[in-house]
Amino acid sequence: MRTIGAIGEMRAAVAEWRAGGERVAFVPTMGNLHAGHLSLAALAATAPQRVVMSIFVNPAQFGPSEDFAAYPRTLAADEALIAAAGNVDLLFVPTAAEIYPFGVERAVRLQLPSLASELCGATRPGHFDGVATVVCRLLNIVAPDLLYLGQKDYQQFVLMQLMIADLALPVELRMGPTHRESDGLAMSSRNRYLDAAQRRQAPALHGALERLRTRLRDGVVDFAGITAEARAEIERAGLKPDYVEVRRRADLGYATSGRDEERVVLGAAWLGRARLIDNLFL
């Protein structure tokens, strides 16, 4: 496993693999790696292809009052984890100057359609545009055949699917399942913001979504009623709910009572310094 920071070196490595007939899979991250990230890399490595992971804490996707400065940066530990797991061929760790040569303020930015202002986007204005802005750059630099993203950030997945289709980017998108702690809490770098008491409260989000999913599976179509119940449950556990919604899985449009519609339940809640998100497919 080799770590590189320069765009030219990255392109040269990929070009060499391509020349040898190899396919390239790409797993972008913001580092502070956990088993969820590693599970994506393992999935990327199941096919006979090279795996590139990136670590870049992208300033363009953080709001002014968000945790960009405080976001955990643990490169040495991340490198050790990746080396031990043995699935990643190349780790790309660019500087902000590589990704935004004219500065973040003067960067060319992507603007996603209105789904980017719903769900997580409603409380994080500009967040998904910032994600699209960096993912597009990273795809241009790495030029992978396959892009692996996690279900944990399902709205991000759907928006990146949309961006890839709309911009005709030559990459195939794949999704890895959400990796969880044994009590159901979705693994996240931000879980480290939780103190011991909050860590015990945190699985309540997943629990509420599970019960919501059961109600839907039982055939309940009063979405407003059952999402309000889930919010109340999250609140009783001591979290501050942001949203709980039932949406169409394909495009995150509003769910209808149609019988053969595939759905997803999504939720977000604040707990101390952390904002937790989770979702479950029906």
Binder among 10, 24, 25, 29 for ligand AMP (CB under 6 A) = 29
* DSSP β-ladder status, 240-248 and 263-271: antiparallel
Active site residue 37: yes
User: Nearer to ligand AMP by C-beta: 153 or 245?
Assistant: 153
Q: Can you tell me whether residue 88 is helix, strand or coil?
A: coil
Asked if residue 135 binds ligand AMP (CB under 6 A), the reply is: no
Instruction: Using the minimum distance from each CB to ligand AMP, give the nearer residue, 36 or 267.
Output: 36
From residue 211 to residue 240, the character string flagging contacts with ligand AMP as x (rule: CB under 6 A) and all else as - is ------------------------------
Residue 159 half-sphere exposure, CB side, CA atoms within 13 Å? 26
CB of 223 to ligand AMP, least distance (A): 25
The gap between the terminal CA atoms of the chain, to the nearest Å, is: 38
Q: Is the separation of the CB atoms in 29 and 37 below 8 Å? A: yes
Please give the helix or strand (H or E) that residue 244 lies within, else none: strand 240-248
Q: What are phi and psi of 145, to 5 degrees?
A: -80, -35
**Residue 179 or 231: which CB sits closer to ligand AMP?**
179
- For residue 235, which phi and psi values (nearest 5 degrees)? -65, -40
Give me the 179-198 binding string for ligand AMP, x by CB under 6 A, dash otherwise: x------xxxx---------
Output the smallest distance, CB 177 to ligand AMP, in A: 7
CB 21 to ligand AMP: min, Å:
27
Amino acid making up residue 167: L
Question: Which residue in 41, 130, 30, 39 sits closest to 72, CA to CA?
Answer: 30
CB contact at 8 A, 164 and 171: yes
Nearer to ligand AMP, 133 or 178 (CB): 178
Marked catalytic residue, from 37, 127, 179, 206: 37
Q: Is 153 in the site for ligand AMP (CB under 6 A)?
A: yes
Residue 40 is a binding residue for ligand AMP (CB under 6 A): yes
99 lies in the site for ligand AMP, by CB under 6 A? no
Q: φ, ψ for residue 162 (rounded to 5)? A: -65, -45
39 makes contact with ligand AMP (CB under 6 A): yes
Closest CA to 262 of 248, 245, 252, 276: 248
Q: Is 54 in the site for ligand AMP (CB under 6 A)?
A: no
Give me the least distance between CB of 176 and ligand AMP, in Å please.
5
Measured distance CA(100)–CA(138) in Å, rounded:
11
Catalytic residue IDs: 37
Q: Which residues bind ligand AMP (CB under 6 A)?
A: 29-30, 36-37, 39-40, 149-150, 152-153, 176, 178-179, 186-189
